[in-house]
Amino acid sequence: MKTNSYDFLVIGSGLAGLTAAMELSKHGHVLVASKVNASECNSFYAQGGIACVVDPEDTIEAHVADTLSTGSGLSDPKIVEQIIQDGYARIAELENLGIEFDQRKLKGKKTVYDLGQEGGHSHRRVLHAGDITGQSMMKVLIKRALENSNITIRENLMAIDLITTDWIGHPGKNRCVGAYFLDKKSDEIFPIHAACTILASGGLGKVYPYTSNPDVATGDGVAMAWRAGLPIRNMEFVQFHPTCLYHPDAKSFLISEAVRGEGAELKDIRGRSFMEDFDARGSLATRDVTARAIDFIMKKHGDPYVYLDISHRSESFLRERFPNLYAACLRYGINMATDPIPIVPAAHYSCGGVVAEVNGTTDLPGFYACGEVASTGLHGANRLASNSLLEALVCGYATATEISNVWEQFKESVSIPDWKCGEAVSSDEAVVVEHNWNEVRTAMWDYVGIVRTERRLARARARIRNLRQEIKQYYGDYLVTSDLLELRNIADVAELIIRSAEQRKESRGLHYMADHPDATENTTDTIIHDKPGGPLT
């Protein structure tokens, strides 16, 4: 088995990963490993935009204050300020690459950014490219990366586990030297060696059956980092996006928060506006408040969905501001200009992740994390809308800058052993994997969703404990497949979420406990240090 060797390995092809790759390509050869197509990532599906202070009437201080308020006492003020301050320079670099954000003309023909406003923001500060900001950015970045002779993008490579020197018995201080990968086309398993490895693998929405995330978002990065012994922080804070389209033919279709920013109201199926009963900001409340309100209304009345209504805006406005969203709704028989949109909450974003600095550094030398997979201290207990792309952009660049200053000390050649299959054989029981997939996700939705209780968490813990034992046995007996690897990862991530949620005996941000409805004075983070070695405790 041949070991592929690169200067830099980037696991994940979203905004954070490609931003880092572009910068690192100035110093050496970069491999970007993508589990499926390079464009299939949460960044690509981001509709709203990037929050950044560009309006003269807005201030860094106001953006910081909004972020801290939304973070409910767990965001790190220094980290928040650093990331927000660095945003504008990174936006300018995106524009230099060819990304165009929407602009509008003022009287006197002066052109300014056409800024959106979303829940939790006190000013219009969301830069956008129509209603497909993520798609617009990713297309340009992927094109630039493919044109770069120092960047190799390999698709259909699924990372299995990080390779550390302690694991393979290499002498010296423990450090990361790459990862083992499964080639999903050939079923070959091989190691990739790198001086420095960046984890930019994105989110974990597929841990839940209802999510806005694409199918690739199975928490692989967090699970791999945990298995490698890295500390994992604040996993109880899973953001449920309030407004995903409710339609039998729609899969993971998000209705952008920018629609609420342009005046859409949330109504129950009887046509009554209800958000004012829960928050003075009404339909512009933050996502945690809005998702809980919708969940309450649906459960109170037994309704399968609620409505998002922007029919008071003209068709011409909606077609111009939300061209792709408008067209997509029409495909499902919904005219935004005349019809309310049926919506439900769905798992959207993980505020927790691998403990990392703004520059990506972690407790493991040679290993860095950035983007949604990382927990930097920006989001705290809840993420402010459109701060995710900002974080990915700023931290991706900062990670590459840090690595460029230190990577040569990690250039030592390391002999990595072949992947050992042992006595494993091909499985003829794929139905078992599918069944366990459904069990994990159903348990998480029923017991570890928008509203939690100690009893629900205990039930989830018992179910996930049994499932993880089954999966461990299956993993040892059979040759690995991508479905089995993803099952192992979502089960590990489910454990992390449950254990973190059980430790927090209060309601804060995205974590709401019905039997502990108030926030306490304790504003410490939830950190899990131990490796996964057995059942839940």
Phi and psi at 504, nearest 5°, equal: -95, 100
Q: Where are the beta strands (DSSP E) in 143-188?
A: 151-154, 157-164, 176-183
What does the DSSP assignment read for 492-524?
HHHHHHHHHHHH--S-BTTB-BTTB-S--S--P
Residue 478 CA from chain centroid, whole number = 30
Cα–Cα distance, 35 to 159 (Å, whole number): 8
User: Which two tokens mark 185?
Assistant: 């086309």
Is the CA virtual torsion 22, 28, 29, 30 positive or negative?
negative
Number of residues that this document lists for the chain = 537
Catalytic entry in 287, 321, 452, 504: 287
- 287: annotated active-site residue: yes
- Of the candidates 384, 372, 368, the residue with the CA atom closest to the CA atom of residue 75: 384
Q: 375: which DSSP letter?
A: E
Q: Determine the residue type at 99.
A: I
Name the one residue in this structure whose structure tokens are 């390509």: 25
Is the CA virtual torsion 51, 445, 527, 179 positive or negative?
negative
User: Which two tokens mark 527?
Assistant: 């950190």
- Of the candidates 62, 98, 64, 66, the residue with the CA atom closest to the CA atom of residue 84: 64
Instruction: Report helix angle 77-97 to 133-147, nearest 10.
Output: 70
- Of the candidates 5, 9, 14, 8, the residue with the CA atom closest to the CA atom of residue 372: 14
So which residues are the catalytic ones? 287
